[in-house]
Amino acid sequence: MIVMGCDKAGTEWLPLISAKLNEMGLENKILFDGTQDGCDYTDAAFAVAETVAAGKADKGIWFAAPVSV
């Protein structure tokens, strides 16, 4: 199982990657899709890391917004 999460910047990518993983026969679950109120990259990263650390998933992927200066 691969768990995934993103902030608002990754919202459009997450379903595409989930679909590709499904095509490859890899079970996956979206924990944070960037649409939750107040969702920040830290929320997504924590949810993914916590799930993997607890042994509820084998791997995790999270996306965050690029920072522009």
Residue at 69 is within a domain: no
Give the pLDDT confidence score for residue 66 in this predicted structure. 67
Structural domain boundaries enclosing 59: 2-63
Residue at 32 is within a domain: yes
Residue at 68 is within a domain: no
Query: According to DSSP H, which parts of the chain are helical?
Result: 13-23, 41-53
> Can you give the pTM of this predicted structure?
0.84
Residue at 16 is within a domain: yes
**Mean pLDDT within 13-41:** 89
- Compute the radius of gyration of the chain from its Cα atoms: 12
Provide the number of structural domains found in the chain: 1
* 69: pLDDT strictly greater than 60: no
Residue at 35 is within a domain: yes
Q: Report the C-alpha gap between 66 and 64 in whole angstroms.
A: 6
